[in-house]
Amino acid sequence: MLSGRIRKKFSGMALVEFAMVAPLLIFLTVVVFDLGLVVYDKVAVIAAAREGGRTAAVTDDAWKGVQACYSMASRAGLQSGSVSCTVSKQGDFYVSQATCRHAMVVPGLPMLLGGDRWTEITVTGKALFRAETAVSP
């Protein structure tokens, strides 16, 4: 057991150490949470691009593909003002692209991830589908 004098010397030391480490732990938790949201948006944008490309390939109509892309992005929970969808026909293929601007919680983090702005990052999803043609019997 520590004597009373030594115990008094170290009383409150754990509180000071916690006060020094707590802001770093909170910051790291917010960064991990923010990166998780970016990954979720990336998966949702890829799903929207795939849905748009698939719909365009099946219906042979690029406009229906664009509508399907926006619909899927909305169902995935992406904000409609930050999503952009394009579908174009190139030869026998439909190329679908969806982009989403994700507002980051931690300023400066997009610059570390290769973005060009301090507070938002753009995630992109692309899909390529061969146009399906009906076979006549």
Structural domain harbouring 123:
4-130
Tell me whether residue 14 is in a domain.
yes
- pTM, full prediction: 0.79
Q: Is there a contact between 99 and 124 (Cβ–Cβ < 8 Å)?
A: yes
Among the residue ranges 2-6, 41-45, 123-127, the one predicted with the least confidence is: 2-6
pLDDT digits (tens, 9 = 90+) for 41-89: 999 999 999 999 999 999 999 999 999 999 999 999 998 889 999 999 9
Q: Is 135 domain-assigned?
A: no
Predicted confidence at residue 8, as pLDDT, reads 65
Number of domains in the chain: 1
| Nearest to 66, CA basis, from 20, 107, 91, 98 | 98
Taking alpha carbons only, the member of 90, 108, 85, 92 closest to residue 34 is: 108
User: Is there a domain that residue 28 lies in?
Assistant: yes
Q: What percent of the chain has pLDDT over 90?
A: 54
Instruction: Note whether residue 137 is domain-resident.
Output: no
Residue 136 lies in a domain: no
